[in-house]
Amino acid sequence: MKTFENKLDQIENSNLYPFHMPGHKRRPINSQLASAYVRDITEIDGFDNLHHPTDFIRLEEEFAAKLFGADESFYLINGSSCGILAAIQSISNAPGRLLVARNCHKSVFNALYLTGKEADYVYPEWNETYPFNGSACVDQIEKMIRQGSYAGVVLTSPTYEGIVSDIEKICALAHSYHIPVVVDEAHGAHLGIWGGDGFFPKSAIQCGADIVIQSTHKTLPAMTQTALLHVQGDLVDRKVLKHHLTIFQSSSPSYILMESISDALHFCAEKKHELAEAYKKQLEDFYNKTISLKNLYLFSNQNMQDSFAYDFDPGKLVICIRDNIDMTGKQLGCLFREKYQLQMEMEEEHYVIAMTSVMDTKEGFQRLLTALWETDRELSDKLSDRKRENGYITKKRPFPYSGTRLTIRDAMGSQSREYILKDAKDKISAEFIYLYPPGIPLIVPGEQITQEVLDYLTEKDDAGLSIQGPAKIDQGIIACVSDE
């Protein structure tokens, strides 16, 4: 029973006059959004409260917990970012540092800034065959946990590229030391419903993670800005977690966004097997029809080396450009957009990502397939005389190393001085630098700007990618901690 839909139908069809927020008084000023306006309310009598649910919102969150297999689930209307902030805040009072995957989203580092907590970073696996990062290194995590004292482990799985880490093994290890594990599964909400079936990887919930945050708007049919936070086990103080959720969620949550979460979950639950079978068939057909590409290739479990990644989500179409092809991901994405009217999710230096979901159509997959094959044939005509390799080859890591010198909070609170970026070598950054998307910091405040980092930024800039973070990055200037 979709209680959100029924309750908002009730308000839409009532004669109740709104002497309350919002200011539009349920009178649409945009005909295209009319239905949204007449259902957009605040926490009025009889319509429950997200921050203290006792009625239908509580029932909907219980439905979500049952669907995903969690002990408790919470609706998020400030995106996964607010869930990540609340999760890290909720485990930061415990003694010890945080063990954090260095390829986490910027919201994780924002949480480190807010808590002032010190962190040790675990860098992802890498292999010179691939132009992106692999799984979190389990051996490195095990070594660090055995040698250190940690309040929690924070990981991202799957990554933007669909790379999945061995969360089950990491959780077993961390739990043996009574350390909670937080997983940013923003790109894997669908795994919570269909994962572990032999086609899609298991969800972090199934793997035993203590807190899992998922974006329902990324891979499920919900509106932008919607997400879920799941919690299980007894290593997280739920009272503290709920308190922090009230801090990072709006005190005037959108009922339209909450209804969108509800509709998406009920839709997926009611059509669970039908949606999964159709989706898997479309993906299988697509991968099979792209095996023979010569100049482009799709990353998959079939061409993945075991040491690189634990598992892969095939719902992410990672279209890579072979190393002997004179084309950037930015150029490929632009070609798809302008010639084929296909907008990619992300463009990187050597690949693009097409994000899929159960809502994709056969026509959409076919258009992308046509674009791939036509582009591949055109690239063959322009091939250089260089020897064709099996894939992308690079001797450089797809993620630069930099040493931590200060906490994020200390670095951002220190006296700073501006430098031309090329002159900032060996300086300690007072600002974030990241590519967007995906919003993973290349440098966080407190880290040393190495030559490797500078070379990496130069390459990304030359490839036409968007470098963000520093206030004056458009002038090639970054603020660094003053030597004084």
Q: Region 180-184: what's the mean pLDDT?
A: 98
Strand partners, 95: none
The answer as to whether 115 is a domain residue is yes
Which CATH number is 342's domain given?
3.90.1150.10
Same domain as 193, residue 154? yes
Q: What is the pLDDT of residues 269-299, one digit of tens each?
A: 999 999 999 999 999 999 999 999 999 999 9
Q: Please report which confidence band the pLDDT of residue 1 belongs to, taking 50, 70 and 90 as the band edges.
A: low
Higher pLDDT, 184 or 382: 184
SS3 per-residue string spanning 73-104: EEEECCHHHHHHHHHHHHHCCCCCEEEEECCC
Q: Pick from 287, 290, 353, 289: which is nearest to 320 by CA?
A: 353
**In terms of domains, do 217 and 255 share one?**
yes
Task: Give residue 327's pLDDT.
Answer: 94
Chosen domain end from 240, 270, 300: 270
Residue 477's CATH number: 3.90.105.10
| pLDDT score of 101 more than 80 | yes
Query: Which band of pLDDT confidence, cut at 50, 70 and 90, is reported for residue 51?
Result: very high
350-378 mean pLDDT: 97
pLDDT confidence of 161, banded at 50, 70, 90? very high
Question: Is residue 442 within 8 Å of 408, Cβ to Cβ?
Answer: no
Instruction: Between 80 and 127, name the one with better pLDDT.
Output: 80
Q: Tell me, yes or no, whether 398 lies in a domain.
A: no
The mean predicted confidence, pLDDT, of the chain is: 93
Q: What is the model's pLDDT at position 323? A: 87
As a 3-state breakdown, the chain gives helix, strand, coil percent values, each rounded to 5, of 40, 15, 45
401 within a domain of the structure (yes/no): no
Number of domains in the chain: 3
Contact 186, 215 (CB under 8 A): yes
Q: What is the mean pLDDT of residues 229-255?
A: 97
pLDDT number for residue 21: 86
Instruction: For residues 81 and 205, state if they share a domain.
Output: yes
Please give the pLDDT value at position 128. Answer: 84
Structural domain that includes position 419: 408-481
- Whether 414 maps to a domain, the answer reads yes
> How many angstroms separate the most distant Cα atoms in the chain?
75
pLDDT at res. 395: 45
Say whether both 200 and 312 belong to one domain: no
How would residue 396 be classed by pLDDT, with cut points 50, 70 and 90?
A: low
Omega before 131 cis (within 30°)? no
Q: Are 230 and 330 found together in one domain?
A: no
- Lowest mean pLDDT of 29-33, 157-161, 216-220, 397-401, name the range: 397-401
Same domain for 439 and 307? no
Mean pLDDT of the region 302-327 = 92
Q: Is residue 134 part of a domain?
A: yes
Q: How far apart are CA 320 and CA 351, in angstroms?
A: 4
Distance of CA 455 to the CA centre of its chain: 26
How large a percentage of the chain has pLDDT more than 90?
83
pLDDT tier for residue 399 given thresholds of 50, 70 and 90: confident
Instruction: State what percent of residues in the chain have pLDDT above 70.
Output: 96
Report the alpha-carbon distance of residue 359 to residue 357 in Å, rounded: 5
Domain assignment of residue 389, yes or no: no
- Both 236 and 93 in one domain: the answer is yes
Please state the rounded mean pLDDT for residues 55-83: 97
> For residues 439 and 459, is the Cβ–Cβ distance under 8 A?
no
Let me know whether 448 and 299 are in one domain: no
Per the domain annotation, does 386 fall within a domain?
Answer: no
Q: What is the pLDDT of residue 390?
A: 45
Q: What does the chain come to in residues?
A: 484
**Same domain flag for 17 and 161:** yes
Whether 464 and 359 map to the same domain: the answer is no
What is the distance between the alpha carbons of residues 373 and 166, in angstroms, rounded to a whole number? 34
Q: What is the CATH number of the domain that holds 180?
A: 3.40.640.10
pLDDT in tens, 416-460: 999 999 999 999 999 999 988 888 999 999 999 999 999 989 888
Burial 307-325 (b: 16+ CB within 10 A, else e): ebbbbbbbbbbbbbbbbbb
pLDDT of 407 over the 80 cut: yes
> At residue 403, does pLDDT exceed 60?
yes
Do 436 and 336 belong together in one domain?
A: no
Among the residues of 382-482, which ranges form H helices?
408-413, 451-462
| Of the residues 244, 270, 296, the one at which a domain ends | 270
pLDDT (0 to 100) of residue 388: 43
Q: What is the DSSP letter of 139?
A: H
Taking residues 356-375, report their average pLDDT. Answer: 97
Residue 387 has pLDDT above 80, yes or no: no
**230 residue type, one letter:** H
Q: How far is CA 295 from the centre of its chain?
A: 28
Look at residue 386 in the predicted model and tell me its pLDDT: 45
Q: Are 9 and 125 within one domain?
A: yes
pLDDT category at 2 given cuts 50, 70, 90 is: low
Mean pLDDT on 147-176: 98
Task: Answer yes or no: is 175 within a domain.
Answer: yes
Q: Which of 242, 270, 298 is the last residue of a domain?
A: 270
